[in-house]
Structure 1
């Protein structure tokens, strides 16, 4: 990184590094703690997914202004707009499961008298 690297670029690099660490930790956490992290990442009010969606949305707006000035090809602006829409759709798809994730994340870690029944991994979606 050159000495002239701006603060926002350094911030992105640090956030990226921290996300890598979070990913590594998540893979090694006990299930209950992992669910707490996942529920927090997906929190609709101030979770990571919503923040990333907002960041890409602002990037799309900036790219649109740059495309209008002729600095960027329109395809870049359109791609960022689609990415924003896709991230928003992912958040919408997860909305119906956030309460369940929060519930699982906040349950005490005591051992149940009867073990939980594994869920089938193939589920038909309602469309």
Structure 2
């Protein structure tokens, strides 16, 4: 007889499933609603990205403790620490765009005669 997965494992599976559903819905939303969803997901304090960053940081602390006991290789702790730091940096980079996303998400749908001008997607660096 198989043992049921403990609650935290089931919770992680359910969160993963719901993120998949959100991804599928995001691709079908009109731009203002999609911007609202993205802004909420990327919110560093209350969004998914901030929560994920905190979860990975918590996992890093766990891995450090386990590495000190010899139960995990130190490389696991170091990898989780790097991931936590990278996610934190990404969160900071994206946070500066929160106002823009909120602005786009609150714009009424207009049928203007002149569509917005597309922005170039390639940024060249000076050497």
Matched residues in 2 for 1:125 and 1:109: separation?
35
TM-score using structure 1 length? 0.91
Q: Could you list the per-position Cα deviations for residues 18-65 of structure 1 after superposition, in whole angstroms to 9, with x for gaps in the alignment?
A: 011111111111122111110111112201100000000000000100
Residue 124 (structure 1) shift: 4.3
Q: Distance in 2 between matches of 1:125 and 1:113?
A: 35
Alignment-derived partner of residue 71 in structure 2:
71
The runs of 5 or more residues in structure 2 that have no matched partner are none
The alignment's C-alpha RMSD in Å is: 1.6
Q: Which moved more, 1:117-126 or 1:32-41?
A: 117-126
1:110-121 mapped onto 2 (5 Å cutoff): 110-121=110-121
2: CA distance between counterparts of 1:124 and 1:97? 20
The yes-or-no answer on 1:43 pairing with 2:43 is: yes
Q: Tell me the TM-score normalized by structure 2.
A: 0.91
How far 1:98 moved relative to its partner?
1.2
Q: Distance in 1 between matches of 2:20 and 2:74?
A: 32
Once residues 67 and 125 of structure 2 are traced to their aligned partners in structure 1, the CA distance between those partners, rounded to angstroms, is 38
**Residue 125 of structure 1: how far off its partner (Å):** 6.6
Please, which moves more after superposition, 18-27 or 115-124? 115-124
Aligned to 1:106: 106
CA distance in 1, matches of 2:12, 2:125: 36
Superposition deviation, residue 121 in structure 1: 0.4
Q: What is the alpha-carbon distance in structure 1 between the residues aligned to residue 82 and residue 52 of structure 2?
A: 14
User: What corresponds to 2:87 in structure 1?
Assistant: 87
